[in-house]
Amino acid sequence: MRILILGAGFGGLELAARLSEEIGSTAEITVIDEKPGFVFGFSKLDVMFGKRTAESVFHSYGAIEKPGVRFVQTTVRSIDPGRKSVVTDSGQFDADRLVLALGADLDPSATPGLVEFGHEFYTVPGAFALRDVLESFDGGNVVIGVTSTPFKCPPAPSETALLMHDYLTRTGHRSKSTISLVMPLGVPIPPSPGASAALLEAFDQRGIDWHPERTVTALDGDRKVAVLNGGETLPFDLFLGIPVHKAPSVVLESGLTVDGWIPVNPRTLETEFPGVYAVGDVTSVGTPKAGVFAEGQASIVADQIIAESRNQSSARSYEGRGICYLEFGAGMVATVDVTFLSGAAPVGEIQGPSTELAASKAEFGSSRIMRWFDRDWSQTIASE
């Protein structure tokens, strides 16, 4: 069976690893990504706030040596879901099973003034560049703002505000700074009243201004203010934005999207085209755009492809469960365990924050790097 995986992020890497383990000796698994390697979303915050180096959080795709898996670094230019065929800068690829795991693209230029007067920390280059920006920042009004919905990892802006408090405290600039957080949600984590209450209390204790049900529509560079969708303005000396998200243009042009994202069968992740699946941020499956959900979806698709390759059918179906780690600063991490597609309203239980859960988050990351790259990352993390 020829299996073509587009995108080697959270979803694509998990799928490739599972398929290789189970059917790597018989299947031909091709993974395509335009980037040279993988960086966890949470590693962007680690680099930006000086906790880790850019080198230590980069995992080269060149290191993947898994039975049956071939990685090709190239850009996908067009997708024909009916034929399960794609055209890339390195030629055409045809498959028996096609899986789209191409994530969400970011468009900072969609928000007037963001590129000229602000910064974004959702891309790897944006987050890594902020490390130097923060080093030379000597205090002032900091605004962290979401520009539109949907956006990846809904807890990340809250985590950034808490980590910014720690950073400015460490560098001695907190007393001459304000931190404002602008979010489109009514509470920080809507499915988890407990996590939302804990975050709002943490903001309160640290003097972080919380602006719910708002987005940032523009930055006015002359007045140095962020303009919110209610018409209010917030003065800023340092603006960190969460840019507009959209499906990659090659996906939008494939005819697979409805309202900007790929609809899938929520139980099987199959698109309207038989044998063509989509997982992760590129879908509108109904879970938040986060790596843990992309991973869970990839696991379901893996089960189906493995079963079909053995002329069987898979009994497992997707439930939309994910356990998200939540940085509270000061080395403390909490978890929120939420299930989205059970039929009932999602309810998330919070555990922590604690230093034990911070260790569990490190283990979560290094276990994935071991599974996906056969590389021991734990020593690197421990030594930094």
Q: Which residues bind ligand FAD (CB under 6 A)?
A: 7-12, 32-35, 41-42, 44-45, 75-76, 101-103, 121-122, 152-153, 156, 248, 250, 280-282, 289-292, 294, 324-325
CB neighbours of residue 33 within 10 Å: 24
Residue 3 beta carbon to ligand FAD: minimum distance, rounded to whole angstroms = 16
Q: How far is CA 18 from the centre of its chain?
A: 20
Smallest gap from residue 154 Cβ to ligand FAD (A): 9
Q: Write down the residue that tokens 């920042």 correspond to.
A: 137
Strands 332-339 and 321-329, sheet pairing:
antiparallel
**Beta carbon nearer to ligand FAD, 214 or 289:** 289
Taking the complex as a whole, the smallest distance from the CB of residue 314 to ligand FAD amounts, in Å, to 20
Q: Which residue carries 């009916």 as its tokens?
A: 82
Residue nearest to ligand FAD (CB): 9
Q: How far is CA 124 from the centre of its chain?
A: 11
Shortest distance, position 113 Cβ to ligand FAD, whole Å: 21
Q: Which is nearer to ligand FAD, 174 or 368 (CB)?
A: 368
Residue with smaller CB distance to ligand FAD, 160 or 227: 160
Q: How far is the CB of 10 from ligand FAD (least distance, A)?
A: 4
Q: How far is CA 201 from CA 68, 188, 194, 266, 347, in A?
A: 50, 11, 11, 35, 20
Query: How far, in Å, CA of 57 to CA of 60, rounded?
Result: 10
Find the helix packing angle between 193-206 and 156-170, rounded to 10°. 20
Least Cβ distance, residue 123 to ligand FAD (angstroms): 8
**At which residue do the structure tokens 């096609």 appear?**
98
Phi-psi region at 345: left, alpha or beta (left = phi > 0; alpha = psi -120 to 50): beta
Pairing type for strands 233-235 and 332-339 reads: unpaired
Gap between the terminal Cα atoms of the chain? 43
Q: How far is the CB of 14 from ligand FAD (least distance, A)?
A: 8
374: left (phi over 0), alpha (psi -120 to 50) or beta: left
Measured from the CB atom, the residue of 159 and 225 that comes closer to ligand FAD is: 159
Could you tell me the two tokens for 46? 């680690």
Residue 10 or 203: which CB sits closer to ligand FAD?
A: 10
Closer to ligand FAD by CB, 9 or 348: give it: 9
Q: How far apart are CA 82 and CA 240, in angstroms?
A: 41
Closer CB to ligand FAD, 113 or 126, in the complex: 126
Bridge-partner residues for 144, per DSSP?
Answer: 181, 240
Q: Which is nearer to ligand FAD, 220 or 337 (CB)?
A: 337
Distance, CA of 49 to CA of 298 (rounded, Å)? 31
Q: Which is nearer to ligand FAD, 227 or 324 (CB)?
A: 324
Cis status, amide bond into 154, omega within 30 of 0: no
Closer residue to ligand FAD (CB): 35 or 51: 35
Q: How far is the CB of 175 from ligand FAD (least distance, A)?
A: 27
Cα separation, 251 vs 281, whole angstroms: 12
Residue 124 C-beta: closest distance to ligand FAD, Å: 9
| Residue pointed to by tokens 């230093």 | 355
Contact (CB, 8 A) for 48 and 122: no
Q: How far is the CB of 361 from ligand FAD (least distance, A)?
A: 8
